Amino acid sequence: MKFTVSAMLACLSIFLLLTLSVGCTSMKTVTSVQPPVAEKIPHEMNQHGVQRNDDYYWMRDDDRKDPKIIAHLEAENSYKKAQFAPYESLQQTLFDELVGRLDKDESSVPYLWHSHWYSRRYQQGFEYPIIARSKVLGETETILLDVNVRAEGQDFYGLGGVTVSPDESMLAFGEDLLSRRMYKIYFKSIESGEFLKDILEGTDGRLVWANDNQHVFYIKKDPQTLLGNQVFRHQLGTEQAQDVLVYEELDDTYYIALGQSLDETRIVLHHESTITSEVSVLDADTPLGQFVPLLAREEGHEYSVAKLGDEYYIVTNWLAENFRLMKVSESEFADKSQWQQVIAADDDVRIEDILLLKDFLIVQTRVNGLSHIEVRPFGEQNAYHLAFSDPAYVVGLDVNASQQSDKLRVYYSSPTTPESIYEYDLTSPSTRVLLKQEKVLGQFDSELYQAERLFITARDGVKVPVTLVYRKDTFSKDGTNPLYQYGYGAYGHTIEPDFDSSALSLLDRGVVYAIAHVRGGEMLGRPWYDNGRMLNKQNSFNDFVDVTKALTEQGYADSKRVVAAGGSAGGLLMGSVINQAPELYFAVAAHVPFVDIVTTMLDESIPLTTNEYDEWGNPNEKAYFDYMLSYSPYDQITRQDYPHLLVTTGLHDSQVQYFEPAKWVAKLRDYKTDDNELLFHIDMEAGHGGKSGRYRRYQDTAQEYAFFLGLLGLGK
């Protein structure tokens, strides 16, 4: 193997790590180790008359085996380890705190499906759950799958979907051992414990059973793009090579997913792009049939369905920006003129989800950023809302496995309230039972903490919601507290104001924790999303920056001690923010950051690119190319001071390829004009979600917190 400069630096970094002074007390005292310097190899690109040069394009290796690239990544890891040495003990302290709050024997609330009660539980000291069931609640259980046994000896283990056949005799589950989200599906006889010879490879990890207990349907992924684009039917006892292709998605801007109606009469195939959807169904009693669209896709029309008897209820944005609820018989579904309105569109109310029970329609909405659950009896009773009192919270539908039930389970959480599972007796509106609340071990007392919900006016006059939480006895609102600000802002994904036991390690050290619900999410309904995507993406960055400015101006934070974090599309947010307003942030963590947006979106061979044209725009069109280039974190790096930076990635990341942050870090090292830390941690075993396992995943959180708290001088 050629001995490259990067390989030499890796060896040098390891040597210097071993010779660091044991008296170091601050990252800034570690000055003898030099960061890796990546080789520059010009790579010219010309689109729409714009000439770009990418000196680090060579870092891409789809096989992840190139010795030069691996050596460079290992050199980065060695440098990060050397610079992080003074805070390794703090990281361990934080890790012990984080896992020390976990209920070592945590278990889910059992739910009744068919004739058994199903649940998941952990055993003390083990990373993965045990999936079990019992015939009678509280009596002897049967272990269906001990995931710890399956994961033994694996550097990474990802459990996919777990499903039981309708007659409850067979178990199917998916496994990913590489963190590329490509799963093998296995089958196990529950009675004998024996595994079938059937193994389905290259899947998305989930399947749906037909009612004959012999046929299953699954989605197979394209090995290059990682898009799930084919639906196959498999008969138990046959080779995968004999499986029948029953549907192929030819439009590579769509995702597909399989599900089942709550009454178990229909297998449902969902087709989704960013702004268009379609639903196809197959009678679960006739698995040899074909999937038939309920309503053919229409560009810009999004809809989802729930079935009750012969009728479908439809959550649709047809003539309704924030969606409305309609219903129609199955035979007339394809004719929208036959749809009957159940709940009208409301500019202030986003309909998010529904549940159909035999006597009740349950509607989940979001109003002014807060979740609501409305119960609508089908009889003469009046509708009513479930009441919650925290200033910021999230509530949603939990596992409700039977359409015949008159009980409703919801989950509830707030920044100061651990996740709670409530069961409501819908025949008695004022009756609810707390089935379970997440245990937080140690000295946790919710009364010590305070949550607030603010609306910050952005530069264009729009009010941006912010969730704040802090410890009362360490907060003074005089501009002296450090601030940890988190953001995401993409895909219409809402970062909920829920409870996070990890955050206590920040709050207990006097840090104010803030979530900036920037445009691009859907906290304030569908318009909030539309105003933060495509040619409106700059709003996401402006919102985040304006929230930071306002929180410091209003005394919530010390302007010199603001740290920020985001991952994936939130990493793009971090990258753009530090290009545009680096002076506002003391330190930033960008996890698996999507930072080379233009080059990635021009390359259809990279996983998931084509599905995202309606999110970011198609840079093959000049208007979108120019706009994306104007904020692309990688392209817009300039010669200026940057905050302290911690960047993380996984070598096997299937969502944001490792070479995006690798190139970004290399270019930042070349351009930045400061002496602040720039640390790059590459998990050589993991992918987009980081480490697997209940405890191991907290190593990443402890690392980020140690980075921030150490720099802030709060490492106690």
Residue 129 neighbours by CB distance under 10 Å: 21
* Phi, psi (rounded to 5 degrees) for 507: -60, -40
**Sign (positive/negative) of CA torsion 453, 455, 458, 463?**
positive
In the structure encoding, which two tokens stand for residue 659, read together?
């070479």
The arithmetic mean of pLDDT across residues 68-96, rounded, is: 96
Residue among 411, 606, 617 at smallest CA distance from 496: 411
What is each CA distance from 407 to 305, 313, 570, in whole angstroms? 21, 20, 38
- The per-residue pLDDT for 588 is 98
| 284 phi-psi bin (left φ>0, alpha ψ -120 to 50, beta other) | alpha
3-state SS assignment for residue 635: coil
Span between the terminal Cα atoms of the chain, in Å:
45
HSE-CB at 20 with a 13 A cutoff on CA atoms is 26
- How high does pLDDT run on average in the chain? 92
pLDDT in tens, 537-581: 999 999 999 999 999 999 999 999 999 999 999 999 999 999 999
Distance CA 577, CA 573 (A): 6
Side chain identity, residue 345: A
Q: Report yes or no: 688 and 179 within 8 Å, Cβ to Cβ.
A: yes
* Phi, psi (rounded to 5 degrees) for 603: -110, 100
Does 687 score more than 70 pLDDT?
no
Question: How long, in residues, is the chain?
Answer: 716
3-state SS assignment for residue 6: helix
Tokens 């699954």 belong to 218
Q: Which helix (H) or strand (E) holds 486?
A: strand 483-486
- The per-residue pLDDT for 669 is 97
Q: Could you please report the per-residue DSSP string of 235-289?
A: ETTS-GGG-EEEEE---TT-EEEEEE-TTSSEEEEEEE-SS-EEEEEEETT-TTS
692: confidence class by pLDDT, cuts 50, 70, 90: low
Q: Report yes or no: 449 and 501 within 8 Å, Cβ to Cβ.
A: no
Distance CA 470, CA 132 (A): 39
pTM exceeds 0.75: yes
Does 213 score more than 70 pLDDT?
yes
Distance CA 651, CA 349 (A): 42
- The per-residue pLDDT for 233 is 98
Active site (annotated) includes residue 6: no
β-strand partners of 464: 456
The arithmetic mean of pLDDT across residues 340-345, rounded, is: 98
What is each CA distance from 408 to 17, 343, 398, 581, in whole angstroms? 57, 21, 8, 47
Which range is least confidently modeled, 135-144, 220-229, 278-287, 372-381? 220-229
- The per-residue pLDDT for 415 is 97
β-strand partners of 361: 356, 376
Supply angle C-alpha 66, 157, 240, rounded to 5.
85
pLDDT in tens, 149-184: 999 998 889 999 999 999 999 999 999 998 778 999
Q: Choosing from 234, 271, 652, 688, which is the catalytic residue?
A: 688
Tokens 């100061």 belong to 416
What is each CA distance from 492 to 302, 519, 522, 523, in whole angstroms? 13, 9, 5, 8
- pLDDT above 70 coverage of the chain, percent: 94
- The per-residue pLDDT for 40 is 97
Q: Choosing from 6, 540, 568, 654, which is the catalytic residue?
A: 568
Active site (annotated) includes residue 568: yes
What is each CA distance from 283 to 161, 264, 332, in whole angstroms? 22, 9, 17
The arithmetic mean of pLDDT across residues 436-453, rounded, is: 95
* Phi, psi (rounded to 5 degrees) for 597: -65, -40
- The per-residue pLDDT for 18 is 26
Kindly report the three-state secondary structure assignment for every residue of 67-110: HHHHHHHHHHHHHHHHHHHHHHHHHHHHHHHHHHCCCCCCECCC
CA 245 to chain centre: 30
Q: Report yes or no: 688 and 654 within 8 Å, Cβ to Cβ.
A: yes
In the structure encoding, which two tokens stand for residue 84, read together?
């992080």
Q: In what order do the strands lie in the sheet with 407-414?
A: 394-397, 407-414, 417-425, 432-437
Which range is least confidently modeled, 102-106, 410-414, 534-538? 102-106
β-strand partners of 162: 173
- The per-residue pLDDT for 374 is 96
Active site (annotated) includes residue 688: yes
- pLDDT above 90 coverage of the chain, percent: 83
**Sign (positive/negative) of CA torsion 17, 18, 21, 24?**
positive
The arithmetic mean of pLDDT across residues 457-469, rounded, is: 98
CB neighbour list of residue 237: distance below 8 Å, 6 or more residues apart: 196, 198
Q: Which helix (H) or strand (E) holds 647?
A: strand 644-650
In the structure encoding, which two tokens stand for residue 298, read together?
């229409």
What is each CA distance from 560 to 480, 563, 611, in whole angstroms? 9, 9, 40
| 352 phi-psi bin (left φ>0, alpha ψ -120 to 50, beta other) | alpha
Q: In what order do the strands lie in the sheet with 303-308?
A: 303-308, 311-316, 324-329, 340-343
Q: Report yes or no: 179 and 654 within 8 Å, Cβ to Cβ.
A: yes
pLDDT in tens, 266-305: 999 999 998 999 999 999 999 999 999 999 999 999 999 9
Q: Choosing from 653, 654, 681, 700, which is the catalytic residue?
A: 653
Mode of pairing for the β-strands spanning 170-176 and 158-164 = antiparallel
Q: Report yes or no: 333 and 294 within 8 Å, Cβ to Cβ.
A: yes
Does 531 score more than 90 pLDDT?
yes
Q: Report the helix count and the strand count for the chain, using DSSP H and E.
A: 13, 37
pLDDT in tens, 1-20: 332 333 333 333 322 222 22
Distance CA 88, CA 84 (A): 6
Buried b (16+ CB within 10 A) or exposed e, 518-555: bbbbbbbbbebbbbbbbeebebbbbbbbbbbbbbbeee
Q: Report yes or no: 596 and 572 within 8 Å, Cβ to Cβ.
A: no
252: confidence class by pLDDT, cuts 50, 70, 90: confident
The arithmetic mean of pLDDT across residues 184-207, rounded, is: 97
Q: Which residue has better confidence, 460 or 104?
A: 460
Distance CA 119, CA 110 (A): 5
Residue 65 neighbours by CB distance under 10 Å: 8
Residue among 85, 20, 75 at smallest CA distance from 669: 75
HSE-CB at 198 with a 13 A cutoff on CA atoms is 23
